[in-house]
Structure 1
Amino acid sequence: MITVHREYSLQNCLGLHANVEINPIGKLDVNIVELDEHHSTDFCDLSFESHGGATCVCGKEGTAPWQVNLARKDALELSHLVDEANEEYETLMSDLM
């Protein structure tokens, strides 16, 4: 299981970047570099909402919701990476049983 890292530019926020870590144990971490802001969520609390040319990535940290806006292609890549990580984790768990 390998943690995947990506950097994306935030939509509608000039100059802001998000460092994203997709952890195959079912966690997504987002760090907005310029604001020194950190968000985390479990895959089960992660959702993607399309709004025109941007996609809102929504998560929940405890009971506090958060969201970041990514370009549609970046959000599609992120969604694909989350799906791959989830499949990898499920395969590992079934191999262990």
Structure 2
Amino acid sequence: MIASRFTGTAQPYANKLTEYECGFPAFEDSRSQFDVRFYLVAILFIIFDLEAAFLFPWAVTVFDLGWIAWIAMMIFLVELAVGLAYAWKKGALEWE
């Protein structure tokens, strides 16, 4: 890091300070308030990411586990579908 500091060139472009990813300015007060929708989307992402984490190993071993494991996974998927329908109905997926 020290060698690159001395051998590199500083390129101060205005584009380096523009907004990226979330749309907020890069250098702003760190205690600014975020919209609650960011947290809601993050929680929904975690829930459905965990679904994939449970679904992939089950799909690999479904033939070895038998009908009880298949029924248990279908109940799990129905519960997640009901949760998704509820979030959709409440407008959790709307971004206005």
Settle same-fold status: TM greater than 0.5: no
TM-score class normalised by the smaller sequence:
0.3 to 0.5
TM, length-normalised to structure 1: 0.34
Greater gyration radius: 2
Where is the strand percentage greater, Structure 1 or Structure 2? 1
TM, length-normalised to structure 2: 0.34
Where is the helix percentage greater, Structure 1 or Structure 2? 2
